[in-house]
Structure 1
Amino acid sequence: MFVYDVFKTVTTVLGVAFLIRFFLIQPFYVSGQSMEPTFENNQYIIVDQVSYRLHAPHRGDVVVFKYPRNVAFSFIKRIVGLPGETVIVHDGEVTIINDQYPNGVSLEEDYLATRTSGEVRTKLGKNEYFVLGDNRPSSSDSRSWGVLPRHLIVGKVWVVLYPFDEFKTVHPPSYGKGL
């Protein structure tokens, strides 16, 4: 009887762990400097895989996604442009054109250490996002490889888990002007 109880308990625990790992949250390892200073190289993060089944991604969310040019690789970036918007990167600034701001509005990105390089103008279609790394000079992102289709988004970064002294929950920034 004891062996059966242990087997039943272990099976239940493993089943619950499997369901959580594959359907609710997923751990990822940050490799590289493209999201510094928000996320550092060698940090472990937890990604929420449920939120975007309930609602669309928001501007400022940090997401993990499958790289559009090779889905064997996962990237981490910040969403700055939403479906239907036009994103302009010019003269160090990111400008958003949408129904609310038909003449465009510049994002107030206080979390950046350096200005945004490059010259890009992209009109986003349905279910397309424009993503950028927080360390813009060291980031391969929508400026170089184009838009991110929604179906490639794995989930929203929820927490920095390790190193333990850097534990924190992740919240999107405020861009001002109702963005």
Structure 2
Amino acid sequence: MSKKSETSWQDSASDWLVSIIIAVALAFCIRTFLVEPYMVEGSSMYPTLVNHERLVVDKLSYFVTDPKKGEIVVFRFPKDQTRDFIKRVIAVGGDTVEMQQGKVFVNGKQLNETYIYHNDPKGKNISDYRKVVVPKDTIFVLGDNRNNSEDSRFADVGFVPLKLVKGRALVAFWPLDKMRVLKADTGMGE
């Protein structure tokens, strides 16, 4: 074997190894800081999102800004941070929030929630939640399927600290025939 072919083989192997290392590092950085795939589990966000639907979660936005009302966010479950939850932001730090007979009021104004699922036999979501002020650096979240959602109304979720928010649901991409951009809906006509 000639010295030239030996060097060529080593150069090729070295080039491949460097390329693989760069690709893995790039994929890690993209998934850690930019976007992450997410699969919806359960029906708490129905009809907006359905079980096993796949999403792209934007992680970069929340490095420069906080979640806004109406956005759909993925966050680590406060009682077991190995689990992720997905819900809609209803109120942010400093807002007042309350529920009376299923109607949600933020800062005294009733939300027009066209996105929620009415699965009560009478067509209403009957739920009350006493008036509270959302603490600074937290968000108040609810599922769109209110009668089947573990959300901020319950002590095990409560007010979600901003540090537990992983990102904003940006695009539903699977199944392909249901692909769409997920827009924020505040229920306030904004």
Q: Distance in 2 between matches of 1:16 and 1:177?
A: 40
Per-residue deviation at 1:177? 5.7
1:38-53 map, 5 Å: 38-53=48-63
1:26-41 map, 5 Å: 26-41=36-51
Find the counterpart in structure 1 of residue 162 from structure 2: 150
SS in structure 2 opposite 1:39? coil
Sequence identity percentage? 34
* Unaligned residue ranges in structure 2 (runs of 5+): 1-10, 119-123
Find the counterpart in structure 2 of residue 130 from structure 1: 140
Is 1:110 paired with 2:114?
A: yes
1:1-179 map, 5 Å: 1-97=11-107, 104-114=108-118, 115-121=124-130, 122-145=132-155, 146-176=158-188
Per-residue deviation at 1:174? 4.8
Q: Distance in 1 between matches of 2:153 and 2:125?
A: 10
* Unaligned residue ranges in structure 1 (runs of 5+): 98-103
Q: Deviation per CA, 1:19-40: give whole Å up to 9, x if none.
A: 1011211122111000011111
For the aligned residue pairs, the C-alpha RMSD in angstroms reads: 1.5
Q: What amino acid is aligned across from residue 159 of structure 2 in structure 1?
A: V
Q: Distance in 1 between matches of 2:34 and 2:165?
A: 14
Does the Cα contact within 8 Å between 1:45 and 1:160 map onto a contact in 2? yes
Q: Distance in 1 between matches of 2:129 and 2:186?
A: 23
Taking a change above 3 Å as real, the CA distance of residues 71 and 4 of structure 1, as seen in their structure-2 partners, is: same
Q: Which has the larger radius of gyration?
A: 2
Normalised TM-score (structure 1): 0.89
Per-residue deviation at 1:139? 0.4
Q: Distance in 1 between matches of 2:189 and 2:75?
A: 28
Q: Deviation per CA, 1:84-104: give whole Å up to 9, x if none.
A: 11101112210012xxxxxx1
Per-residue deviation at 1:2? 2.4
SS in structure 1 opposite 2:153? helix
